[in-house]
């Protein structure tokens, strides 16, 4: 499948607004890859596919999650965490994406993980700072992203964790682990 067909297949999974977000993440991911010595082509591919399953009905997401025998622990947390892990499996099967680094960046784009690769960091941060994003603190994260990928990502996770705490929601432990690990590489 060529890149244009893959773009169209991805576009057809989501409403127009989410497609605009996807294109924003592609642009930001390529920019971050260029700034931080990452691979812009892999950044572009992972960013294109990162939210492939985001607008699938939650029941369908849960069904695929179970079918792929993914870690049942995650089912105890916000269903917003499902779309990354299932997208990695779906794009592998449907679109023949075999690059494990790209698949991991898709898989962990929401939660983060302990040993985030450069590509994981680029996609996760691009998801926070793409031009269409507007949440409290996003300007600060964009500024930090000019000089430190890790510091910006910590600020991103801080904002997500603060949001979850304010809402009285559970925090998926892998996000806390990801944040702690990033702080360790800073110091």
Q: Which of 73, 130, 2 is nearest to 85 (CA)?
A: 73
Rounded to 5°, angle at Cα 146 from 10 and 117: 55
23, interface contact from ligand DGI, Fe ion, none, CB < 5-8 Å by kind: none
User: Distance (Å, rounded) from C-alpha 51 to C-alpha 29?
Assistant: 14
Which part of the chain contacts ligand DGI (CB under 6 A), choosing from 8-16, 31-39, 74-82, 143-151?
74-82
160 sits near ligand DGI (criterion: CB under 6 A): yes
65, interface contact from Fe ion, ligand DGI, none, CB < 5-8 Å by kind: none
Tokens of 83: 């779309």
Q: Residue 44 or 51: which CB sits closer to Fe ion? A: 51
Question: Exposed (0-12), middle (13-18) or buried (19+): which is 98, by Cβ within 10 Å?
Answer: exposed
Q: Residue 9 or 171: which CB sits closer to ligand DGI? A: 171
- Measured CA distances, 8 to 46, 55, 66, 162 (Å): 15, 16, 27, 36
Of 39, 44, 51, 104, which lies in the binding site for Fe ion, with binding defined by CB under 5 A? 51
Within a 10 A sphere around the Cβ of 71, how many other Cβ atoms?
Answer: 9
78 sits near ligand DGI (criterion: CB under 6 A): yes
130 sits near Fe ion (criterion: CB under 5 A): no
81 sits near ligand DGI (criterion: CB under 6 A): yes
Rule CB under 6 A: which residues touch ligand DGI?
Answer: 51, 54, 77-78, 80-81, 109-111, 127, 160, 164, 171-172, 175
Rule CB under 5 A: which residues touch Fe ion?
Answer: 51, 127
């Amino acid at each position: 499948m060529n890149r244009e067909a893959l773009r169209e297949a991805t576009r057809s999974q989501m409403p127009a607004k989410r497609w605009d977000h996807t294109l924003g993440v592609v642009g930001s991911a390529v920019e971050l890859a260029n700034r931080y010595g990452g691979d812009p082509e892999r950044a572009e591919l992972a960013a294109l596919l990162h939210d492939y399953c985001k607008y699938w009905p939650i029941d369908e997401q849960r069904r695929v999650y179970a079918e792929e025998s993914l870690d049942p622990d995650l089912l105890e947390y916000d269903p917003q965490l499902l779309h990354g892990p299932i997208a990695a499996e779906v794009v592998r099967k449907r679109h023949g994406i075999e690059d494990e680094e790209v698949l991991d960046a898709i898989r962990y784009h929401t939660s983060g993980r302990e040993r985030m690769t450069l590509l994981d960091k680029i996609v996760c941060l691009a998801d926070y700072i793409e031009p269409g994003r507007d949440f409290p603190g996003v300007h600060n994260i964009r500024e930090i992203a000019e000089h430190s990928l890790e510091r910006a990502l910590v600020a991103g996770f801080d904002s997500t964790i603060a949001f979850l705490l304010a809402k009285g929601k559970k925090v998926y432990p892998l996000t806390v682990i990801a944040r702690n690990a990033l702080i360790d590489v800073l110091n």
